[in-house]
A and B are shown apart, each in its own frame.
Chain A
């Protein structure tokens, strides 16, 4: 085997240098800083003072933290299953109607919310729900819902945030599912029809099993995106009422930037979120590996 010399030897390292620098400086660096500052009393303005594990001890007795952790997990539970199901149903609808005018329009329109920033989506939905707009009032009235009460009631505010998040990401997941659906050979359906299978049987016996790799991929993406609702919450409810929609990111942000002396504690809260995400990520990695081997 010929030994690499000169530029050839360093060439691969050069290619990965820019992204490595970005990763080290802005991702790993931030995590290390956060881990370090979580052991201090720090207000951003003055130098940090070492306080050992005080911040982590404080977390254990902090009711607001527990509420924020609960809200984060609730959002995960609300968003992930609904997002997955709605994405599949929408993509099936898009595929079935792709040659009709309605399907073509839906194909274009459904992706627009995804292109908007979360902040814009938050402001628009707040105005839609609170704006006393007759068509919106009529639509929600069909289900017996007063839209302007949704964001102000601690029982419905978090669910409303979750629904807006699902609406926002639906186009994105539909497109992923759509590509998965289109890769299923039509011969499978033809053979099933010959054997007398109906549409519903085809969906459960062919579509869903063959979509399994896509479903696993979207599950992973969905869990990640369901933890990123800061701008939505910020613009829809501001974390209220009475912290009913404050998730861990919002709580850490409030501690760090809206209160002036708790940056160190905010880092500790962020680190807990980091651990939660890490655990979920590792669990999913295992799931992915197992399912990939089964396929």
Chain B
């Protein structure tokens, strides 16, 4: 009998535990100091974002009698975590979003237009505030910008070929052609013109657009959307020409380009000195880190090639004020503080990044400085438009199909265009 009672007791305890585990009254826990708690969700901005930010926030927390609770969300679960949290009303007070993901949150009212919080001093101080202006409102407050994908080149290979750094598409093709060769005489190509990786396992499918496609599209004068955002533009004459040019480059690429992610291709092929060119997301510390990672590599970079125009992708990731924030004024003060010169100077000393304000000096390796001085007009973010995720995901798949030869340029672009325009038609029909 005792055993039965014990079993029944255990079962009751388990059921209670299960029910308790599922329960949530939705109320926030008070902070340890008894003040407010500010929930901030960030992406992994460095090796230990939580600690690096936490260490610098002590004084601000004391001054505002609040605790900043930082949650770092891994990139591979980023969008998933945000959308599920929003649907269950458990989002943060301050979020961190990139352009491709932000539109549905604007449309659903999950994030707030910060226009009213912008002062004249802010306008004078913040260098990239306009990058957070979208859909007729200041929905993003740029936090990370200025890490564009740039074209790195192997100085030794170019010297051997008697070439100067490329400036135009013609230069680039000519050097790629000369660089693609069998250097050890075994009859097989072992040095490539262009190290490329189009496997989409690294971060997500749109990364291959960030790394390789936008630059080509923009350099040829096209774009993703038409200005009215009611249809896509990437399949127009300039877009088709850009894609054709890119497809033609496959003869100078490592033949296994579809197996590598863009970052693997850079480290494994370009980093090992087996290609004249490689694309990577630049960082202010590249000179230092590459000296450790690729000690034998003699490299330099071109921010952007030019055909019709310059252009390469530089993300603008922004802090967002969430509409569910318990204390929007406090959240806004936090946003301004962490993007301001005082915080950023200390943070960039630990983890170099582009200065967001005019008061903040450039911190980083001298070699990379020209991206933020001479070349600022050569890189920018993508257009924020309706159905962005769907359109870009489809475009990335069709780009793969074109590059592997499964689809012709015309077929691939037509498929992506048809799919995108259908989505946009539905979107605008819903709006009406």
Q: B400 touching A241 by the CB < 8 A rule? A: yes
In the complex, what distance in Å separates the CA atom of A258 from the CA atom of B83? 10
Q: Pick from A18, A21, A44 the residue with the most CB of B within 10 Å.
A: A44
Query: Which chain A residue shows the least CB distance to B1?
Result: A7
Decide yes or no whether B258 CB sits under 8 A from chain A. Answer: yes
Decide yes or no whether A87 CB sits under 8 A from chain B. Answer: no
Q: A151 touching B258 by the CB < 8 A rule? A: yes
Decide yes or no whether A152 CB sits under 8 A from chain B. Answer: yes
In the complex, what distance in Å separates the CA atom of A15 from the CA atom of B9? 10
Pick from A14, A130, A243, A263: contact of B259, CB below 8 A. Answer: A130
Q: A261 touching B12 by the CB < 8 A rule? A: no
Q: A240 touching B397 by the CB < 8 A rule? A: yes
Decide yes or no whether B25 CB sits under 8 A from chain A. Answer: no
CB of B402 to closest CB in A, whole Å: 8
Decide yes or no whether B373 CB sits under 8 A from chain A. Answer: no
Query: Which chain A residue shows the least CB distance to B87?
Result: A44
Q: A150 touching B259 by the CB < 8 A rule? A: yes
In the complex, what distance in Å separates the CA atom of A237 from the CA atom of B390? 19
In the complex, what distance in Å separates the CA atom of A236 from the CA atom of B200? 9
Interface of chain B residues 386 through 413 with chain A (CB within 8 A): 387-390, 393, 397-398, 400-401, 403-404, 406-407
> Given A150-B259, A152-B199, are A17 and B11 also a contact pair (CB < 8 Å)?
yes
User: Which residues of chain A come closer than 8 Å to B403, judged between CB atoms?
Assistant: 241
Interface bracket on A: 35 or more
Query: Which chain A residue shows the least CB distance to B257?
Result: A152
User: Which residues of chain A come closer than 8 Å to B204, judged between CB atoms?
Assistant: 238, 258
Q: A43 touching B397 by the CB < 8 A rule? A: no
Decide yes or no whether B108 CB sits under 8 A from chain A. Answer: yes
In the complex, what distance in Å separates the CA atom of A11 from the CA atom of B393? 54
> Given A132-B268, A240-B205, are A45 and B389 also a contact pair (CB < 8 Å)?
no
Decide yes or no whether B226 CB sits under 8 A from chain A. Answer: no
Q: A242 touching B22 by the CB < 8 A rule? A: no
In the complex, what distance in Å separates the CA atom of A46 from the CA atom of B204? 24
CB of B115 to closest CB in A, whole Å: 22
Interface of chain A residues 118 through 152 with chain B (CB within 8 A): 126, 129-132, 146, 148-152
Interface of chain B residues 187 through 220 with chain A (CB within 8 A): 198-202, 204-205
In the complex, what distance in Å separates the CA atom of A44 from the CA atom of B87? 6
User: Which residues of chain B come closer than 8 Å to A132, judged between CB atoms?
Assistant: 268
Of the stretches B99-107, B127-135, B175-183, B326-334, the one at the interface is: B99-107
CB of A68 to closest CB in B, whole Å: 12
Decide yes or no whether B126 CB sits under 8 A from chain A. Answer: no
Q: A149 touching B390 by the CB < 8 A rule? A: no
User: Which residues of chain A come closer than 8 Å to B393, judged between CB atoms?
Assistant: 254, 258-259
In the complex, what distance in Å separates the CA atom of A24 from the CA atom of B389? 34
> Given A21-B18, A44-B86, are A153 and B258 also a contact pair (CB < 8 Å)?
yes
> Given A149-B255, A260-B104, are A243 and B201 also a contact pair (CB < 8 Å)?
no
Query: Which chain B residue shows the least CB distance to A13?
Result: B11
> Given A25-B22, A131-B268, A261-B104, are A241 and B14 also a contact pair (CB < 8 Å)?
no
Decide yes or no whether A208 CB sits under 8 A from chain B. Answer: no
In the complex, what distance in Å separates the CA atom of A43 from the CA atom of B198? 28
Decide yes or no whether B260 CB sits under 8 A from chain A. Answer: yes
Q: A44 touching B83 by the CB < 8 A rule? A: yes
CB of A129 to closest CB in B, whole Å: 7
CB of A245 to closest CB in B, whole Å: 10
In the complex, what distance in Å separates the CA atom of A21 from the CA atom of B7? 17
Main secondary structure of the interface of B (DSSP, over half): helix
> Given A14-B8, A238-B199, are A153 and B404 also a contact pair (CB < 8 Å)?
yes
Pick from A148, A238, A259: contact of B201, CB below 8 A. Answer: A238
User: Which residues of chain B come closer than 8 Å to A50, judged between CB atoms?
Assistant: none
Q: B80 touching A240 by the CB < 8 A rule? A: no
User: Which residues of chain A come closer than 8 Å to B86, judged between CB atoms?
Assistant: 44-45
Decide yes or no whether B256 CB sits under 8 A from chain A. Answer: yes
Interface of chain B residues 53 through 91 with chain A (CB within 8 A): 79-80, 83-84, 86-87
Q: A18 touching B79 by the CB < 8 A rule? A: no
Interface of chain A residues 1 through 33 with chain B (CB within 8 A): 7, 11, 14-15, 17-18, 21-22, 25
Decide yes or no whether B15 CB sits under 8 A from chain A. Answer: yes
Decide yes or no whether A207 CB sits under 8 A from chain B. Answer: no
Decide yes or no whether B431 CB sits under 8 A from chain A. Answer: no
In the complex, what distance in Å separates the CA atom of A22 from the CA atom of B7? 19
Query: Which chain A residue shows the least CB distance to B203?
Result: A238
CB of B347 to closest CB in A, whole Å: 30
User: Which residues of chain A come closer than 8 Å to B22, judged between CB atoms?
Assistant: 25
Interface of chain B residues 202 through 256 with chain A (CB within 8 A): 202, 204-205, 255-256
Decide yes or no whether B110 CB sits under 8 A from chain A. Answer: yes
Decide yes or no whether B93 CB sits under 8 A from chain A. Answer: no
19 new A-B contacts at CB < 8 Å, known A148-B256, A242-B400: A11-B8, A22-B18, A44-B87, A45-B104, A64-B397, A126-B201, A130-B259, A132-B268, A149-B256, A152-B198, A152-B404, A237-B201, A242-B398, A257-B83, A258-B205, A259-B387, A259-B393, A261-B387, A262-B390
CB-CB nearest 7 A-B residue pairs: A152-B258, A238-B200, A242-B401, A152-B259, A148-B256, A257-B80, A241-B400
* Chain A contact residues, CB within 8 Å of chain B: 7, 11, 14-15, 17-18, 21-22, 25, 43-46, 64, 126, 129-132, 146, 148-154, 234-243, 254, 257-263
A to B CB contacts below 8 Å, 7 in the list: A11-B7, A17-B15, A132-B268, A152-B404, A154-B404, A239-B205, A242-B397
